[in-house]
Amino acid sequence: MTEIIGKELRRDVPGALILEGAHGSLAIARSLGRRQIPVAVTTHGHPLPSLSRYVQRKFSWCGPGQPDAIKDLIELAQRHHLEGWVLFACGDAEVRLVAQHHEELSKVFRLTTPPWAVVQFAYDKSLTYRRAEELGIAYPRSYQPRSRREVAELSCSFPIVLKPAYRRCANAFTVSKGWKADNRAELLAHYDCATALVGHDEIVLQEFVPGDGNNQFSYAAIWDRGTPVATLIARRTRQYPIEFGYTSTFVESIENPRVESAATRYLHSLDYSGLVELEFKHDQRDDTLKLLDFNARAWTWIALGTKAGVDFPYLLWRTATGDKPECVSGRAGAAWIHCARDLMAGLQHILAGDLKLRSYLRSLHGPTAFAAFAVDDPVPGLVELPLSLYRAMTIRVPLAFRILHRLRSAAADLSRVIFARRQNEP
């Protein structure tokens, strides 16, 4: 039985039902809610979006992995008059579910997710890279061994990254998005852990492209039947951890024709429709732009678009409801920040000596969207800040110990200098 919490919903405007997600879902709720568009969310996963004042209804459901997921969604729509609402699938499992039942769900909802024939290229990394190779788009050298013996005998250079071929479920491996191995022993140890979680067939080994977030770029967009509706190029200026980040902490909108050209070629080949983010990394060793990931869902920093002149959730809602907005491109110079994680990333950069405190503070000037906090919707940010700081300090315990050790060493050095100066005073 579905449990409902919240207010009565307007019926004169097609609302939005958001399936799961976290920061991206929160941004969608705020964008639409501020325009008086009814918003409802499912609460099977992350609780953050449901804390927003712009969410009018919260529905519990069985989740995308259950046999009755589609039946539950359709019954939910019929029972609460959500027919014709725009369905935003914001998690990988939800995207897969909607894509694979596209025809059935399109009779009830207005969908923002492409059918499986297209989404499979985003869901399965082996297909992502196969299509890139066909189009002449570079990507990191990749391997898909089928046994531990193949891994032990694999001819590859280090470091190397283990990635989930797709995110069928949430666990330590799929949530982290990848594990970096600096030698054969680490590779085998990581491989053993990964196979215990997802099995041999769901692991991809990938060349590690050196460089921090400054070398990583995204093409974020809405497309409609092979044509762009809204576009934005962004740089992952800071990430956490800084060398091999599992999450963005400070993202800036920029201009980069190479990224736009490669992404446009890829999406044209699929006659793409819907929300999309393609991630690339610039390999300075040979000056190539390499495709890393393909996301057919809302990304974490989607709120950046509002500060850059591209309100992705609202434009997607308009497109899904039959409107045809004029094509718009995001302007450079806007930023998005996850405050708690960016404090950790900034501290790492400062301790590594490649960022000055003044430069860090200067980067925070200008139009900036926050991951969770908003003046008109403060509760999600107030709740998330202490939790994020706690997770950052506990999940990355070795990092915390290294930071404390460096601070202790710096304090000891300063004490010795002060003591020596006092000894030399007349």
Q: Which fold has domain 141-207?
A: Dna Ligase; domain 1 (3.30.1490)
Quote the pLDDT of residue 47.
81
Q: What secondary structure letter does DSSP report for 51? A: G
Quote the pLDDT of residue 5.
58
Domain 213-394 has CATH 3.30.470.20: yes
Quote the pLDDT of residue 43.
77
* Spatial CB neighbours of 152, under 8 Å, sequence gap ≥ 6: 184, 188
With residue 118 as reference, give the H or E element that holds it: helix 116-123
What DSSP assignment string belongs to 169-181? S-SHHHHH--EEE
Domain boundaries, the chain: 4-113, 141-207, 213-394
Residue 219 pairs in a beta bridge with 233, 278
φ, ψ dihedrals at 143, nearest 5°: -140, 150
Quote the pLDDT of residue 225.
93
* Spatial CB neighbours of 41, under 8 Å, sequence gap ≥ 6: 17, 18, 19, 25, 29, 49, 50, 55, 57, 58, 59
Q: Give the CATH architecture of domain 4-113.
A: 3-Layer(aba) Sandwich (3.40)
- pLDDT tens track, the chain, 426 positions: 355 556 666 667 899 999 988 999 999 999 999 999 999 999 776 788 999 999 999 998 888 888 999 999 999 999 999 999 999 999 999 999 999 999 999 999 999 999 999 999 999 999 999 999 999 999 999 999 999 999 999 999 999 999 998 877 778 888 777 899 999 999 999 999 999 999 888 899 999 999 888 999 999 999 999 999 999 999 999 998 777 767 899 999 999 999 999 999 999 999 999 999 999 999 999 999 999 999 999 999 999 999 999 999 999 999 999 998 889 999 999 999 998 889 889 998 899 888 999 999 999 888 999 999 999 999 999 888 776 665 555 544 344 434 444 444 444 454 444 444 544 554
φ, ψ dihedrals at 402, nearest 5°: -65, -40
Quote the pLDDT of residue 401.
39
Quote the pLDDT of residue 389.
62
- Cα 108 to Cα 74: distance, rounded to the nearest angstrom: 7
Q: Which long-range contacts (CB under 8 A, 24 or more apart) does 281-285 make?
A: 281/140, 281/209, 281/211, 281/215, 281/216, 281/217, 282/211, 282/215, 282/216, 282/217, 283/138, 283/209, 283/210, 283/211, 283/215, 284/210, 284/211, 284/215, 285/210
